């Protein structure tokens, strides 16, 4: 996400969740970027017609929904956000596991990498939220 847009959101207090201190902007940006990259990688990987495809399609949709939700923090409570992060991490884990089984396929390897990065970024967010709670 564009830096100017992040600044505009911050100044307009658009990032604050109900009942939660404002999040670290750089961390959120990392997480949204990881979700967007994962959606794209999974969309490409799903097209290969391998047995990971259904998991990849599910993961692409969940990552897009996760990213959009982070752009709409006012529409979440910390509890809802935690639950969404859990679902996103679970979906990424499964997609990664399926793709890792195709270790000689370049697209699957990159999809697995993107899933791992998305899981890590979601976990960073969850850890920070639990520390702040």
On whether the CB atoms of residues 25 and 15 are closer than 8 A, the answer is: yes
Of 63-92, binders to its own copies (CB under 8 A) are: 64-65, 67-69, 71-77, 79-80, 83-84, 86-87, 90-91
* Contact status: 20 vs its own copies (CB under 8 A): no
Residue length, the chain? 133
Q: CA-CA distance, 94 to 27, in Å (whole number)?
A: 24
Binding its own copies by CB under 8 A: which of 23, 34, 62, 118?
62
Indicate whether 13 belongs to the interface with its own copies (CB under 8 A). Answer: no
Residue 28 as a binder of its own copies (CB under 8 A): the answer is no
- Check if the beta carbon of residue 101 is closer than 8 Å to that of residue 44: no
Task: Note whether 119 and 97 are within 8 A (CB).
Answer: no
Whose CA is closest to 62, among 82, 89, 80, 41? 89
Residues lying near its own copies in the complex (CB under 8 A): 1-2, 4-5, 8-9, 11-12, 14, 32, 36-37, 40-41, 43-44, 46-51, 53-62, 64-65, 67-69, 71-77, 79-80, 83-84, 86-87, 90-91, 93-95, 106-107, 110, 114
């Amino acid at each position: 996400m564009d830096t100017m847009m992040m600044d505009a959101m911050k100044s307009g207090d658009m990032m604050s969740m109900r009942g939660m201190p404002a999040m670290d902007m750089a961390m959120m940006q990392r997480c949204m970027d990881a979700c967007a990259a994962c959606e794209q990688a999974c969309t490409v990987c799903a097209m290969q017609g391998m047995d990971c495809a259904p998991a990849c399609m599910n993961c692409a949709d969940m990552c897009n929904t996760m990213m959009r939700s982070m752009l709409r923090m006012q529409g979440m409570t910390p509890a809802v956000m935690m639950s969404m992060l859990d679902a996103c991490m679970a979906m990424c884990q499964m997609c990664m596991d399926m793709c890792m089984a195709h270790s000689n396929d370049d697209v699957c390897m990159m999809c697995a990498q993107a899933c791992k990065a998305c899981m890590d970024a979601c976990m960073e967010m969850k850890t920070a939220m639990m520390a702040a709670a």
